[in-house]
Structure formats: C-alpha cells, structure tokens
Amino acid sequence: MKLLLKNGCPVDSRNELPEKVDILIENNKIVKIAENIDENDTEIINLDGTKVLPGLIDMHVHLREPGYEEKETIKTGCEAAAAGGITTVAAMPNTDPIADNPATIELIKARAQEALVDVVPLGSITKGSSGKELAEIGFLSRSGVKGVTDDGNPVMDSEVMRRAMEYSRPFDLPIISHCEDLNLAAEGVMHEGFYSTKLGLKPIPAAAEEVMIARDIALADLTGARLHIAHLSTARGFELVKAARENGIKVTAEVTPHHLTLTDADLQEYNTAMKVNPPLRSVDDRDTLIKAVKDGQLSVIATDHAPHTYEEKMGTIDSAAFGISGLETALSVLHHYLIRKGNLDWNQIIELMYYNPAEILRLDKEGLKIGSIADLTIFAENESWTVDTDKFKSLGKHSPYNGQELTGTVKLTIKDGKIIYDNRGGQGELIY
C-alpha cells in the first residue's frame, strides 16, 4: 500500500529538504521525497502546508501496566500518545510488579506488541525501586531496556547510586535520576516560596531537587556513567547541569511542558490538576528553563505523563496524588506558549523531542529521509482547539490546561507508514 503526502512543510534541519515537499510512503518506509511527486494507485492526502515532523519521542511516560490498570493501560497510554503526535514512548518501571526483572519487561513488551505506538521499556535501578539493593542491570539490559530509573522514588543511598552507575556503564545504559531529597521534601505539596506561605500549603524547597542533582553529577563524574536528570524544574538545578556539561561530565536533562508554561502562582485556585512532582516552581525558575531550551542547553522535553484515577485527584491539594496526563496536550502547549512567542522554533522541538531522546536511549532514528521508517506527525499551526479532558484517550482525565483554547493541533499521526490517528474531521479517530 502506498501513501502520498502532498504539500507538507517538513521540519528536520539535519536532513536538507525544500520548504514544501511531497512524501511517498510504501509499506512502512519513506521511499521518495521531492517537491512534486506523481504516483498512480496511491492514497493521496493534501497537507495544505501543514508541518511534517518525524514521529515524536516521549522518553518519560507512566503507562501504569501491569498493576495499575485503573489509571492507565499500555493500550490507552499509547492511544493518548498517538493523539498527541508521539510515536515512541519510554515506559517508566514503577508498575506492580516493579519492572526490575526480565519477566516483567517481557510482559510489557508482549502487551505492547498490539499498541499503536512503540514502547521502549525502562528497568528499575533497584529491586522494588526500594533504593536499597541493585536490580540485575545486566539481565535487564539483555531483556531490552534502554535505561534504568527508580522514577517516582529517588535513590537516597549514595553508595547504591554509585554502584548503579558503575554497573550501568558496561551496558551503555543511562541512569535516569528522579532527584528529590525526601528528607528536605518531607510531605510538601507545592514549591516553597511566597505562594506556599500565602496558601498555607506545606512546601517543597528547590534545594530538595538541587542537592540530589549535585550529588548525582558528582557520582557521574566519579564513575563516568551516563546520567540523565528527569523532570528538571529549578534554575539552580539547570546551572548545575550546565556547569557539569561544560566540564565534560556525561549528563543530560529533561524538562516538562508544564514546568515551561506554569508556575506556583497557578495553584491559587487549589486546582489539584496543578499538583505535580516536582512542583510547579517560581517565575524565575520557569523563565530560566525556557531560556535554557531556547539556547540548546537542555537536551529533552518529556511529558512525565502520570495519569491517576478521578478519586486519586479529588479532594484537597494536601491529599491529591501528584501527576497529570500530558501526552495529548504536549505539542499544542509547546506551540501555543513557546513557538508562537518566539521562545522555541520547530527545529528545536525536533532536537528536544526526537533526536536527543533517541540518542540518549540509543534508538535508531534517521528523521525525514528516504529509507527511514515512516513515523510522522502532521501538525496544523493555525487550527485551534479547546482542551477537554473528558475526550482524552488516556484514562487519566486531569490536565492543568483543561478548558483552555490552544492554537495548533495534531492532524495526523503515522506509524510504520500507516495512519494511526486521524483528526482531519475534528473527531480524533484512532485507527488500528
């Protein structure tokens, strides 16, 4: 089966392409890219100048299965990814059982075979993500994990983290670190600052994140391991990462769309959809992170998609669970708040959500070129939509952007040459 996409505007600075192209797909690959292609016996879609991106990668997603299927399943999480224009997700290991062994990794891989998008499994650093005893990192590597992390929990024991970094090196696996000193964070629920005092909510100081970033950078320097800082949220944390990179330490970091667009002031309505971990930070923190991604000094944007049930997000800020659903809004949020205002451009998005995560996870991705797998995201910049969490494909229905009108929407998602999400009629149809 052939598919011909006409009049698309490609985004991929690493492959020299005209401003507007036709793309011919046969079976699962891009077979021709040219300014004009005529082809018979082909399904033709006129893109009318919409953006054509390589299918995006989200390297920080909680799919919840096995064990927490009431929050999300691999199937629904991947459907949400498809609706967000994301064709590859990295699945965090904080499932039940924890993905600290090859059997659980094989279970995740088996269930992912029928999913709409690719699932890259991550293994846990320690058994049960307890932070006490190392998981069998070698066996996890042989089972196909592309990184190890106890995300959701920090590895508090510095000796355990050191040994994890040492054992990860022969397998070329990144250590993906959830940086949070639990003693400093205590049972805080929001960023420590003016608004935590005003709102009377228990705070989490920025230092709770920063001291762990500093520790892990020191350990990465000691061991030579590849360190990736998950969901970086503070200005000082960024300065630590920047200085480490300038000194040749192998450290990368990611930031989420919500930490780039929201601040602790947004909790004034006591909306539990604003409760995330790490918490929304100050204006200065947010602005520093925006400048960092604009200047190419942070490596990745990832959603930290963390769905919960309705009941878990109900109640007070104090009692609600941390986490939101982010897969379906990420690209529109970044376009609406950052690209339109000149803080990011499309080629930077591709670096942050395609090439850099692929490099960190050692995924073979070649972008928009002849011979590459036809994973594509088609995005219409001028079409607006209103976020309605009731229409989310994810089982998690909580988003800080619920009810907001966003400019720019995913029109088509193509995986292995096949349309898996079709929003041309505004219905957001998933296609298996």
Q: Is 377 helix (H, G, I), strand (E, B) or coil?
A: strand
- Is residue 64 marked as binding? yes
- Is residue 62 marked as binding? yes
- Is residue 277 marked as binding? yes
The one-letter amino acid code at 347 reads N
Two structure tokens written together for 256 = 């989420």
- Is residue 323 marked as binding? yes
- Is residue 38 marked as binding? no
Residue 413 sits at the vertex; the CA angle it makes with 410 and 415, to the nearest 5 degrees, is 160
CA–CA dist 357, 55 (Å, integer): 12
- Is residue 151 marked as binding? yes
CA–CA dist 283, 288 (Å, integer): 8
Q: Which of 416, 357, 382 is nearest to 56 (CA)?
A: 357
- Is residue 191 marked as binding? no
- Is residue 347 marked as binding? no
User: Exactly one of 304, 345, 364, 375 is catalytic; which is it?
Assistant: 304
CB-CB contact of 327 with 386 (8 Å): no
Q: Which of 93, 144, 90 is nearest to 117 (CA)?
A: 90
- Is residue 258 marked as binding? no
CA–CA dist 49, 382 (Å, integer): 11
CA–CA dist 206, 182 (Å, integer): 12
DSSP string, 157-178: -HHHHHHHHHHHGGGTPPEEE-
416 annotated active-site: no
CA–CA dist 416, 255 (Å, integer): 28
CB-CB contact of 89 with 63 (8 Å): yes
Please, how many CA atoms are within 13 Å of residue 293, restricted to the half-sphere of its CB?
34
- Is residue 322 marked as binding? yes
Cα Dmax for the chain: 67
Asked if omega into 307 is within 30° of 0 (cis), the reply is no
Alpha helices in 84-206, H assignment, sequence order? 102-112, 137-143, 158-168, 182-185, 194-199
Q: Which helix (H) or strand (E) holds 331?
A: helix 330-334
- Is residue 231 marked as binding? yes
Binding residues: 60, 62-64, 94, 151, 178, 231, 277, 304, 308, 322-323
| Catalytic annotation, residues | 304
Binding annotation for substrate:
62-64, 94, 277, 308, 322-323
- Residues annotated in the binding site for Zn(2+), as ranges? 60, 62, 151, 178, 231, 304
